[in-house]
Chain A
Amino acid sequence: MNTIIFRTVAPYLTALMVVFSVFILLRGHNDPGGGFIGGLIAASAFAIYGIANGVAPVRRALYFHPITLAGFGLFLAACAGLPSILAGVPFLTGLWVFPTVFGVELALSTPLFFDIGVYFVVVGSITAIALGLEDRMEN
């Protein structure tokens, strides 16, 4: 798409959507949202950037290959089950810690890391497919 408006707006739109996707990811534990939908939003952000500016800039901006991101997500999600070994409870049990950082109580948990893993798997795999299709369109 070669309109100058789209090309100018796309980077800002992409940045906004990625930030929003992280918001949706973190919101997901108690409210609608989560890793899957957050990942879809981020992947569509990269797809938009790819449509506006071509595939090569997206790949450069991502730095890691999308499939590598997906692999990292899978690794993180599987690792989220491992702390249960230390606690002596079954695999994938939700474990919580509440550290206070700068006077704010944070609720950190293994489901959060599992969800971040899901986020990366979805971002990685959907972006890989989208960029693959856009590559084909450019040629």
Chain B
Amino acid sequence: MAGASSGHVDPTGILVEANLHLADYIIVAPVVVPVLFGALLLMLRGKTRWHGQIAILAMALLALSTGLLLQRVSAEGPVTMTMGRWLPPFGISFSVDIAGALLAFVSSLIALTGAVYAASTTTTLERRYGFYPFFMLMMAGVSGAFLTGDIFNLYVWFEVLLISSFGMIVLGSEQRQLDGTMKYAFLNLVATTLFLIATGLLYGLLGTLNMADIWQKLNASGDPGSAARAGPVTTIAILYLLAFSMKAAAFPLNFWLPASYHTPKFLVSALFAGLLTKVGVYSLLRVLLMLFAQERLVLADTIAWVAAFTMLAGVFGALAQSEIRRILGYLVISGIGTMMAGLAVGSLTAITGLMVYAVHSMIVMTALYLAAGIMARLSQTSSLSASGGLYAASPWLAAAFLILAFSVSGLPPTSGFWGKFVLVRASVESGAWWLAFVILLSGLLTTIAIFRVWIFAFWRGGPQDTPDGAEAWKVEPLEKAYRQGAFLALGALVLLTLAIGLMPEALLSTSADAARGLLYPGDYIGSVFGGGQ
């Protein structure tokens, strides 16, 4: 059967012939490692004692592999591996450029701190419900989405991370969690369906799903009126914009995020806020900026308006809320708006700023949710009016939250400053003064919203109606293991945002390279078709 004939087929022109070295497998390692560990933890679901440690090991390996990948891509340019040895565009390719590798690396660092936080804070019940397998498989989905070079495969990784995130968000099965999960699940499924419809139309139009091949077919002649562009390309681009904006929680499709992110455990909110919406932003970059560059120019005004409204809706929402996690949820949305402003401008500087801001936002939003988790654990509530006196309870937490508050508002000396600085400069350069103004305004309002949290929760002597000068705070002391794990994770993220703020050169130059790779994807295309690996 297959055996008898396969020896005689000439593989030239059908199969990839180059030999690979062990080092080439870091292209797939960020997906294979979490899948293997996720499956392992699923098998060990009855014996949960070592889950935390195994997860830390897995995330450390993930961070190591994505770090090596980023280093390699920065040095050598984009790399491609096509699964099953089939030549692209027929095989499913993993094509990694600097943008994908950078975001995959930062997300794996966040996952590592998340695993450290989880190891000391998850209960046995949560482990038995399968928190860790879901966590690992979600990371496989996130890494896969950042690394894949095939648009249908991107859809598959979205599904993987979405289904795992359903499991994580409903963990505990409280009524309000089910309520949040329904909103989250339904709206995300609608977005995924739009994504699938757009991909179906695109495949019908061009007959290919490989992103490099799509780019070639759309831009082959360089003529905007070419045969490929005669089809409904703009419609497809708008469908993608809609689907990914919904995933990223951009205005007016942002309402699902604050309605669901305050219900699960704090660590889950932190991971979602740090990772999932950024996958949406990355997909917008990859698809709209790289593949549909001409259509993005047509849609630039629309995207700018969406960005402005998203920023403002986010900060006004944050000002109106009184529960810490709802405030943070709105700040996530505001950050998405800031990134979309970069997409709307679309110049090299703007995309550089976008990448810097995305990295910053991943770190800071995760850290803020983790800090909110510790605050809620200390004061046994996450309502602002009922908390207070936390400065006396934990000065270190107050200091960490203060730094994060500076960072999320975009003030120096933190990472938030650089992202906003570059984005504002790019907007002004391209003549979009009003967009620069909105970015700065949203920064100002964010300052008010987040310092309101700091003043109420830390500075005030006790809950609402405590007289001035009095100290009426009461806190639950933390167990030693909880304190160590939680503060280690939070401290690492705070140091990271400070380090980027003080020494931004490395991130700025990597982001500029990433932006160049997205705007001029010649090397990316070359890594897929130019001889292949």
- Which residues of A are in contact with B by a Cβ distance under 8 Å? 29-30, 65, 67-68, 70-75, 78-79, 81-82, 85, 88-94, 96, 98, 105, 107, 109
Contacts and interface: CB of A to CB of B under 8 A. Distances in A.
Contacts, number: 79
A22 to B, nearest CB: 19
Interface in B215-255: none
B181 to A, nearest CB: 18
B22 A85 contact: yes
B3 A71 contact: no
24 contacts: A30-B1, A67-B42, A67-B45, A71-B42, A71-B43, A71-B45, A72-B43, A74-B42, A75-B36, A75-B40, A78-B35, A85-B25, A89-B19, A90-B20, A90-B83, A91-B81, A92-B84, A96-B3, A96-B6, A98-B3, A105-B3, A107-B1, A107-B2, A109-B2
Nearest to B16: A90
A65 B84 CA distance: 32
Query: Which of A29, A70, A74, A82 has the most C-beta atoms of chain B within 10 angstroms of its own C-beta?
Result: A74
B477 interface: no
A79 B35 CA distance: 10
A70 B42 contact: yes
B40 A92 contact: no
Contact of B84 (A72, A82, A90): A90
Interface residues of B, number: 31
Given A88-B19, A94-B84, A68 B3 contact: no
A91 B28 contact: yes
A93 B42 CA distance: 26
A67 B41 CA distance: 11
A68 B128 CA distance: 12
B6 to A, nearest CB: 7
Contact of B43 (A75, A88, A91): A75
Contacts of A72: 39, 43
Interface of B: 1-3, 6, 16, 19-22, 25, 28, 32, 35-36, 38-43, 45-46, 81-85, 91, 130, 133, 533
Contacts of A78: 32, 35-36, 39
Contacts of B42: 67-68, 70-71, 74
Give the top 3 A-B pairs by smallest Cβ distance, nearest first. Answer: A71-B42, A75-B39, A74-B39
Contact of A71 (B16, B28, B40): B40
Nearest to A108: B3
Nearest to B6: A96
Contacts of A82: 32
B20 A89 contact: yes
Nearest to A30: B1
Nearest to A72: B43
Query: Which of A68, A78, A96, A107 has the most C-beta atoms of chain B within 10 angstroms of its own C-beta?
Result: A78
A85 to B, nearest CB: 6
Given A96-B6, A107-B1, A79 B36 contact: yes
Nearest to B28: A91
Contacts of A105: 3
A82 B133 CA distance: 21
Contacts of B133: 71
Contacts of B41: 71
A90 B85 contact: yes
Given A85-B25, A90-B84, A91-B83, A30 B36 contact: no
B46 A65 contact: yes
Contacts of A94: 84
A42 B411 CA distance: 60
A47 to B, nearest CB: 21
A71 B35 CA distance: 10
Contacts of A98: 3
Query: Which of B2, B36, B84, B133 has the most C-beta atoms of chain A within 10 angstroms of its own C-beta?
Result: B84
A107 B40 CA distance: 28
A5 to B, nearest CB: 37
Contact of A92 (B22, B45, B83): B83
B39 A71 contact: yes
Nearest to B1: A30
Contacts of B32: 78, 81-82, 91
B2 A29 contact: yes
Contacts of B38: 74
Contacts of B36: 75, 78-79
A67 B2 CA distance: 33
A88 B1 contact: no
A74 B84 contact: no
